[in-house]
Amino acid sequence: MSGDITLLINPAAGEGGGARAALRAGRVLRDAGFLVRGLVGADADDAVDRARAAVAQGTGALVAVGGDGMVSLALRAIAGTATPLGIVPAGTGNDMARACGLPLGDPGAAARVIAAACKAGTHRQLDLGRVGDAWFGGVLASGFDSRVNDRGNRMRRPRGRLRYDIAMVAELGRLRGIPYRMRLDGGPWREFDATLVAVGNGPSYGGGMRMCAGARLDDGLFDITVVGEVDRRTLLRVFPRVYRGTHLGHPAVSVHRAAEVVLDAPGVTGYADGEPLGPLPLTARCVPGALRLLAPETRQPSGARPAG
């Protein structure tokens, strides 16, 4: 591959840690013999435009320095191309990096992984989800979780994750079942009331919540987790189990697998990798091998996969 690497940087990621992570990663990559260029967009669209230009001009790799939001922007520039993606996790969630077994909290170690893969000319071929022109690597959220996102995004204070904790408490006060329509792989429509439906290309969102715990990044299928209609007490009791993925055994939870899913529900916005996609209905398709990721091979979780 080409000897130059482009860093797509969110300097504000991780409460300002993105800039420090970029400096550390850039130093490691330069010491490994690569020419490193940094990109910082004026806004999200400008960042994507600059990244696309770098890819079109033949950069050897695009490296996202930041959290899942920055990875999401990088995917818009790189998905479906031959240019590999590297990730230096520097956000608060880092779910894509976590799913791929990348070092967290150590930009130098993440950069060394990227340098080694670039020199060896190796990468992992991974699936991505696609909704229209948008791509995602992790989870598409809809329902209670996306309404928490909606409310949190409207709040000015406090900053950081505490804002979303407060938003979740507020949404619990108006918790109710949502009438969904869902269609898998062109089959019949299924109609049901649910608290949320999450479409997982990867297993987690929100900084380690394993909502789609069995999802794999290289099997050509989504894991679709449906949390049925539950009351507040049940949701609060089951919620801590999401971090271990053991919520999947609860009677109110079901998991389905499909390469394409159509979701429809009134008044619900879809979010993927924490970024808004727009109101439902939405159609998500799993695109096999759409991403070349500079990352080590990881052992997939053991245990039986749901067959539904």
Compute φ and ψ for 133, nearest 5 degrees.
-95, 0
Q: Where are the domains of the chain?
A: 4-122, 136-290
Which residue in this structure is represented by tokens 């008044």? 267
CA distance 172 to 286: 31
- Report the run of H or E that residue 109 belongs to, with start and end: helix 107-120
Cα separation of the two ends of the chain = 41
Q: Which residues of the chain have pLDDT under 50?
A: 299-304, 306-308
pLDDT score recorded for residue 153: 73
Over its C-alpha atoms, the chain yields an Rg (Å, rounded) of 19
Fold of 4-122: Rossmann fold (3.40.50)
CA distance 99 to 92: 15
pLDDT score recorded for residue 304: 41
**CATH code for the structural domain at 136-290:** 2.60.200.40
- Residue 136 neighbours by CB under 8 Å, 6+ apart: 72, 75, 128, 129, 130, 201, 272, 273, 275
61-66 and 85-89 strand pairing: parallel
CA distance 307 to 59: 41
Provide the b/e sequence for 83-121 (b: ≥16 CB within 10 Å): bbbbbbbbbbbbbbbbbbebbeebbebbbbbbbebbeee
Compute φ and ψ for 142, nearest 5 degrees.
-150, 140
Same fold across 4-122 and 136-290? no
